[in-house]
Amino acid sequence: MEEVNKVFGQKLNSSLFTWDNYCGQLGFSVLKVFSDTKNNIVNSDYILEGWCYANALQIRPREEGIAIMLLDIESGEHFWCHVNKDYMETLERLYDLRNNIKTN
């Protein structure tokens, strides 16, 4: 969990991740969330607020990985999206590379 906190911020209560603020429901594109990651884990249009385990969500997906909560800087809206386990590991490696952290 320490690695997840380092990359995705604080762990949030899963009850905050409702259908009303799911990225697909609000029209936020997951492709855009991760499209501008030169210096950040997520696009600089968003602030990464925190995360919870995807299998703790009250709504789908209940698979491995995490759900991340974001703030759209322009609109002020909070929304979340799912990051599956494989992509989460990719983002963690990217974070380590950008921060010059040596991994085994």
Per-residue pLDDT of the chain (104 residues; tens, 9 = 90+): 677 887 888 999 999 999 999 998 888 888 888 776 666 778 889 999 999 999 888 876 667 889 999 999 999 999 999 988 888 888 877 777 777 666 55
Q: Assess contact for 100 and 92: CB atoms under 8 A.
A: no
pTM equals 0.82
Residue in 43, 51, 59 with CA at minimum distance from that of residue 83? 51
pLDDT at 33 (0 to 100): 87
pLDDT reported for residue 104: 52
